[in-house]
Chain A
Amino acid sequence: QQQVKQSPQSLIVQKGGISIINCAYENTAFDYFPWYQQFPGKGPALLIAIRPDVSEKKEGRFTISFNKSAKQFSLHIMDSQPGDSATYFCAASPSNTGKLIFGQGTTLQVKP
């Protein structure tokens, strides 16, 4: 049973545009929601993460929006750049376990 659903599967955005990736989860025991960025041939790298006590977290051009009642969270990439072209994974984790449940991934292409 897939516990974290991610959409869209792929996304094409023009340089300077906003990229939005959405995730939904089912398990209310999840309390840590990170986003990872993965380039071909590399391991996933932590981009930004949020805990459910806040509704939004911003780090540079990257923002997580979190809706606890809807059990949804999203990644917004402002002023998208060609260097942002990568695969993005959302994930969720039960409290303090270190076990991450990943979404299926979104391949982002930013066109110059």
Chain B
Amino acid sequence: DAGVTQSPTHLIKTRGQQVTLRCSPISGHKSVSWYQQVLGQGPQFIFQYYEKEERGRGNFPDRFSARQFPNYSSELNVNALLLGDSALYLCASSLRTGDSGANVLTFGAGSRLTVL
């Protein structure tokens, strides 16, 4: 079975540009979450989506946005990139939300974003 897949795996952008990262959850998983992992630190929660609705948002500026599609895949968009946005962006999926199954997250390998 395919796990959580993310694309692209690596990308380089310059300050001020915009980036779109994509995620396909495990088949049957309806909830997708996004995390930012800066080098040497633990992942930080950005968004959670379930059934195309935003269910949670972390402490990130409005330059960060996301959406979930009817097939449960998701995109993370970051506008007006800053040097500090350089990080590994992780997508995680879970079966559902609102019960004990919500916490069991499976992560993808991530998209490594470098902002120059």
Contacts and interface: CB of A to CB of B under 8 A. Distances in A.
Interface string A38-52: 000111111001010
Question: 6 closest A-B pairs (Cβ-Cβ)?
Answer: A102-B42, A43-B107, A98-B102, A32-B103, A93-B103, A43-B109
A100 B108 contact: no
Interface of A: 4, 6, 32, 34, 36, 41-46, 49, 51, 89, 91, 93, 96-105
Q: How large is the interface on B (under 10, 10 to 19, 20 to 34, 35 or more residues)?
A: 20 to 34
A27 to B, nearest CB: 14
Nearest to B32: A98
B97 A100 contact: no
Interface of B: 4, 31, 33, 35, 40-45, 48, 55-56, 58, 90, 92, 94, 97-100, 102-110
Contacts of A101: 45
Contacts of B33: 98-99
A37 B38 CA distance: 16
Contact of A102 (B40, B43, B56, B98): B43
Given A34-B103, A99-B48, 10 more contacts: A45-B107, A46-B104, A49-B103, A96-B102, A96-B103, A97-B55, A98-B105, A100-B103, A102-B44, A104-B41
